[in-house]
Each structure stands twice: as C-alpha cells, then as structure tokens.
Amino acid sequence: MLPTEEKLDPRVKRTRSLILQSFESLIAEKGFESISVQDVTGKAQINRATFYAHFADKYALLDYLISQKFMQEIEKRTLNACHYTPDNLRNMILAVCDFLAHLHSDCAQPHQQFESLVEGTIKKQIFDLLSYWLTQTKSKIPTEIPATVATWAIYGLASLYSHSKKRPALDKFVDDALPLVAVNLEQFA
C-alpha cells in the first residue's frame, strides 16, 4: 500500500536525507518558526537551489518530515496494511499519543503555527488510513463522515494527552477513551 522505500537515484536519497537530518536537528535546537531555508541548506551542506528542487518551501519540508515520522510510527505497529477492528483502533490511538508526546519533547518551543501545521498533516494521515480501513469491509457504507469524526476525536485525545501536565498512564487513558471513538465505527467491525 505505502511504498516508502522506492528505488530512487542515490543522489536524491542522499540529498533528502541530509535535508531532513539538518532540519530535524534545527527544530530541536531553535524551533521551527525561526529556521530559514538557508539554515537548513547550510547545515546540510547542499546548495540552496537544490533544496527548492525537492521542496517548495520550509512548510512543505515540515509536512514531509512529519508525514515520514508518523508513517514510521504506524508501520512499526503494522497498522498500515490492515482493516478496522477495535484493537487496531486502540493501537492507532496509542500511536498518535506516542507520536505527539515525543514530538513535544523533541522540539524547541512549539509555537502555535508549528502545532497547527502538524495537526493538519497528522489528521490527513489518520483520515486516509481510517478511510482505507473502513473500505476494506465488503459493505458499501459511506465512510467519509465516520472517518472524519474518528479522525478529529483521535487527534483531540492525543493532543489532550500530550499537553497534560502530568501525563496519566497511557494504557489507562486509552481504555477510557477508546469506547467513545469505537461506538461510531461499530458497523465496520
């Protein structure tokens, strides 16, 4: 379904990897908002023009980075090629919570702009994956509305969890939250 590892020109892989690495460390160091494209290319030791051959701007780069990292989180739990079950849903919620929690500890001063960009990217990913799950069932039940509701609910829960001062035990948290999301998806189980 998701061929993350395509056969690419080694130069392209190398350049992307250099860009991503330096971008990631710059985010940790000084925060997304204050990073310039020149900072990234300087640290990566690539030409600025080359950057623009890969990404439209630093927002596209952030989108790509976040997508990549989140996808890894999903693949780690082998949620990328399955269908809807309450247990898979539970694991997805865990994945999003983990992801956001790590993100907040890895990034300097997460400001509003950064947070909402991340939110957009992640919700897009969640929605696509959920939609895929729900269409795996033979029935022709429309998926857009339930997938939307679940997506927002899941992200909202993970956001709450990752921002809470003293984070509750994650398992307990998800135990409480899961039913409220699952109830909207029962027909696909």
**Site of interaction with DNA (CB under 7 A):** 9-12, 14-15, 36-38, 45-50, 52-54, 56-58
The interface partner of residue 69, options being a copy of itself, DNA, none and the CB cut-off 5 to 8 Å by kind, is none
Closer Cβ to DNA, 49 or 145, answer by number: 49
Give me 82's structure tokens.
Answer: 């399955």
The interface partner of residue 57, options being DNA, a copy of itself, none and the CB cut-off 5 to 8 Å by kind, is DNA
Q: Which phi and psi (to 5°) does residue 171 adopt?
A: -60, -45
CB 66 within 8 A of CB 100: no
**What is the contact surface with a copy of itself in residues (CB under 8 A)?**
10, 13-14, 45-47
CB 74 within 8 A of CB 80: yes
Cα dist from 95 to 14, 46, 114, 158, whole Å:
28, 34, 20, 9
Kindly state the smallest distance separating residue 12's Cβ from DNA, in Å. Answer: 5
Tokens 């990234």 correspond to 40
Rounded distance between C-alpha atoms, residue 128 and residue 134, angstroms: 10
Kindly state the smallest distance separating residue 61's Cβ from DNA, in Å. Answer: 10
Closer Cβ to a copy of itself, 9 or 139, answer by number: 9
State the DSSP string of 32-83: STT--HHHHHHHHT--HHHHHHH-SSHHHHHHHHHHHHHHHHHHHTT-TT--
Kindly state the smallest distance separating residue 17's Cβ from a copy of itself, in Å. Answer: 10
The interface partner of residue 169, options being DNA, a copy of itself, none and the CB cut-off 5 to 8 Å by kind, is none
Identity of residue 8 = L
Kindly state the smallest distance separating residue 48's Cβ from a copy of itself, in Å. Answer: 12
Closer Cβ to a copy of itself, 37 or 82, answer by number: 37
The interface partner of residue 48, options being a copy of itself, DNA, none and the CB cut-off 5 to 8 Å by kind, is DNA
